[in-house]
Structure 1
Amino acid sequence: MSKKSMRLAGGIALSLALILSGCGAQGGNTPAGTGGQQPSGGEIKIGLPLPITGSEATFGKDMQNAINLAVSQINAKGGVDGKKIVTVTEDDACDPQQATAAANKLVSEGVVAVVGGYCSGAVIPTLTIYNAKNIPFVITAANSSKIAKENPGNTFEINGTLEYEAQRAVELFKSLGVKNLAIVEQGDAFSADLARLAEADWKATGNPVVAHEVTNKGEQDFSSLVTTLRTKKPDMVFWTAYYADGGLLIKQLRQGGYKGPITVGDGSADPKLIQVAGPAGEGTYVLSPPVASYLPAAKQFVADYKAQYHQSPGDYSALAYDGMNLMAHALKQAGSTDGKAIIKALAETKDFPGIAGKINFTAEKTLKGSNIIVLQIKNGKFTAAQ
């Protein structure tokens, strides 16, 4: 065959392949949330927006593990109405811009639902992206009050909101005899919101907030802040941001001579806080989500997680596991992968039996009731606070 003939034959073959591909696409995936069933060989595709890189990657990977453990168990029991669940993870890196790109990618990949979300600042800009396609979103960790305020209707939070966390913080401070409170945050959606709510609740008790300071994420030298705080003489320092910087602040507070109690918010509820703070972290109080290790209903989950991943589940694993099981339940109740039907089923949830507790939603689609617990660092590990 001549080169010209070979090129002609190749061109015909390529054209034929494109035509056949186009014909196949004509009956392909219905865009998620547009009212049609998702085909693709009996699979239901669910997106997982999580921080897989960056300073909060430990949380993201743990949540991913817990969600995929739930999926493997659901699929082993026949899936949802005979269809297998498959997950697609996109890294939001706890960054608003990257989270937006991750959300758009998940939508383009045809997910019918989304489970995950750790950092509130990364979750908030994605809400309308998913809602535009009627894609239901079960948020398993992020809990800024701004989520409920900006919820376009498709979003369901199964972690206790920051209003509950602020209330629990105030209860703790009062029980410890605190009068003068100092608050330190980082200005992001999560830490600023918790700081604002805690300050308002604390002042409502008739006690003063003697300092409310804002630091930069990634800051290494807190010496100036430590000096400022010592001059204010607080009975309690409340850090509302994440563990990486929180551990350093705790260490430098102790090195700088501060001897009073320290409390951190749930963004610092990670064993790495102890590693970063070292011995200086001893005695620190930690507001925490419902950790699997302290949940009677989570014993089998803990055993299964360890068997699968050869490590203990992290702080948000129980909520992540519950989130996927809740989504599977909603899919069954809806009897469809239609987004509006799934959203309706989620809104009608009544006493769903999660390992972190029963799940019910308020009218704002936030978790009804608090699930915040208080831990304390003792002998280099987290223990339930007395």
Structure 2
Amino acid sequence: MSILHAHRLATAALLSLILSSSAWAKDVYVALAGPMTGSTAALGVQIRDGAAAAVDSINASGLPPGTRLILRIDADDACDPKQAAAVANRLTTDGLKLVVGHFCSSSSIPASDIYAEAEVIQISLASTTPSLTERGETKLFRVGGRDDQQDRVAAEYIVRHHQGAKLAVLDDKSTAGKGIPDIVDQPLRAAGERTLRQSYVAGEKDYPALVSRLKREGIQIAYIGSYYNEIGLIVCQAAEAVARLTVIANDPLTTSDVLAIAGDAANGTLFTFMPDPTKNAAGAATVAKLKGSSLPAAGYTLYAYAAVQA
């Protein structure tokens, strides 16, 4: 979905809320729910800044006289399912009717059940697990592509450019972290590629056993489904161990915090992401206000990390 389509979706949702009220002149509150703290907080900051820019744009685009959109950013779920459910319960109790979020699929899914019961409109920014929108919810939308889109891009790239290489497919056992590698693994095996399938524990600081096995097995390409902290650590520790492998991951690598964690070892790391938003004419004004931020467009492609950061 393009930036323009996402903007129209949000505007349509807001207008439906405004027009359903007997009094148009009012402040309309929208909640932003996502990881403002925790291991994915850097992505939460990107989401917060993008949402604030969208609110400014919508307010300037011509709402009914006296109506103003106000963004609430006090709904921190830290990408924790239980905390996300608590956030959703609080927002519905407060009477919020539109929630932008959540980020992690493991948070969006339990929260969406609560929003659905309260008839709250939910627009998820980056929850990419296919099952999120396959459950028949009528007020739940997403503006980012599904995992099975970017997984196909990654698998096709590996088969096309690294046929016969020693492959590993890794996951952190989370909802998104496990689902993405599972989908990547299937076309690789169908193409006759043999993969080492391995899980690890998210949140740890050192992965010596995992890195040692990758090196011992002579792994050349490691696809990892996880978040930027763990991937950055694995990339760094693999380089220190001279494991000589290329890491391919998914869209949570769209933050410069990976460089802070892995340093020069991050060079050459690949990840799937939506096409370059700076080339999307429909979102030029927003991109100009958010220089350096990542905004969604349609489909997926593959980027080399150093090239994106240049």
Same fold (TM over 0.5): yes
- Select 1:42's aligned residue among 13, 19, 26: 26
2:293 matches 1:314: yes
SS in 2 for 1:378: helix
- Equivalent residue for 2:12? none
Query: Residues 222 and 130 from structure 1, CA distance in 2 versus in 1: closer, same or farther, beyond 3 angstroms?
Result: same
Query: Residues 150 and 313 from structure 1, CA distance in 2 versus in 1: closer, same or farther, beyond 3 angstroms?
Result: farther
- Equivalent residue for 2:62? 78
Unaligned runs of 5+ in 2: 1-15
Given that residues 143 and 160 in structure 1 are in contact (C-alpha distance below 8 angstroms), is that contact kept between their aligned partners in structure 2?
yes
- Equivalent residue for 2:309? 382
SS in 1 for 2:169: strand
How far off its partner does 1:290 sit? 4.0
Given that residues 251 and 281 in structure 1 are in contact (C-alpha distance below 8 angstroms), is that contact kept between their aligned partners in structure 2?
yes
Given that residues 140 and 159 in structure 1 are in contact (C-alpha distance below 8 angstroms), is that contact kept between their aligned partners in structure 2?
yes
1:128-143 pair list within 5 angstroms = 128-143=113-128
TM value normalised by structure 2: 0.86
CA deviations on 1:203-247 (whole Å, 9 max, x unpaired) are: 1222111x1211112212211111111232233111110111111
Return the alpha-carbon distance in structure 2 between the equivalents of residues 376 and 255 of structure 1: 20
CA deviations on 1:245-292 (whole Å, 9 max, x unpaired) are: 111100111222221322121122211112211111111112123453
1:248-327 pair list within 5 angstroms = 248-305=233-290, 312-315=291-294, 318-319=295-296
- Equivalent residue for 1:201? 187
Given that residues 226 and 252 in structure 2 are in contact (C-alpha distance below 8 angstroms), is that contact kept between their aligned partners in structure 1?
yes
1:122-133 pair list within 5 angstroms = 122-133=107-118
2:169 matches 1:190: no
- Equivalent residue for 2:226? 241
Percent identity reads: 23
- Between Structure 1 and Structure 2, how many residues are aligned? 292
CA deviations on 1:290-340 (whole Å, 9 max, x unpaired) are: 4533544433222223xxxxxx3423xx24xxxxxxxxxxxxxxxxxxxxx
Query: Residues 83 and 92 from structure 1, CA distance in 2 versus in 1: closer, same or farther, beyond 3 angstroms?
Result: same
Unaligned runs of 5+ in 1: 1-31, 306-311, 320-355, 358-370
- Select 1:58's aligned residue among 42, 56, 64: 42
Given that residues 292 and 313 in structure 1 are in contact (C-alpha distance below 8 angstroms), is that contact kept between their aligned partners in structure 2?
no
- Equivalent residue for 1:87? 71
1:5-24 pair list within 5 angstroms = none
SS in 2 for 1:278: helix
Given that residues 34 and 102 in structure 2 are in contact (C-alpha distance below 8 angstroms), is that contact kept between their aligned partners in structure 1?
yes
How far off its partner does 1:100 sit? 0.7
**Higher CA-based Rg:** 1
Given that residues 166 and 194 in structure 1 are in contact (C-alpha distance below 8 angstroms), is that contact kept between their aligned partners in structure 2?
yes
SS in 1 for 2:134: helix
- Equivalent residue for 1:103? 88
- Equivalent residue for 1:342? none
Return the alpha-carbon distance in structure 2 between the equivalents of residues 162 and 267 of structure 1: 12
- Equivalent residue for 1:222? 207
**Structure 1 vs Structure 2 CA RMSD:** 2.3
Q: 2:262 is matched by which residue type in structure 1?
A: A
Return the alpha-carbon distance in structure 1 between the equivalents of residues 39 and 306 of structure 2: 25
Query: Residues 66 and 116 from structure 1, CA distance in 2 versus in 1: closer, same or farther, beyond 3 angstroms?
Result: same
Return the alpha-carbon distance in structure 1 between the equivalents of residues 161 and 204 of structure 2: 30
TM value normalised by structure 1: 0.70
- Select 1:144's aligned residue among 113, 129, 153: 129
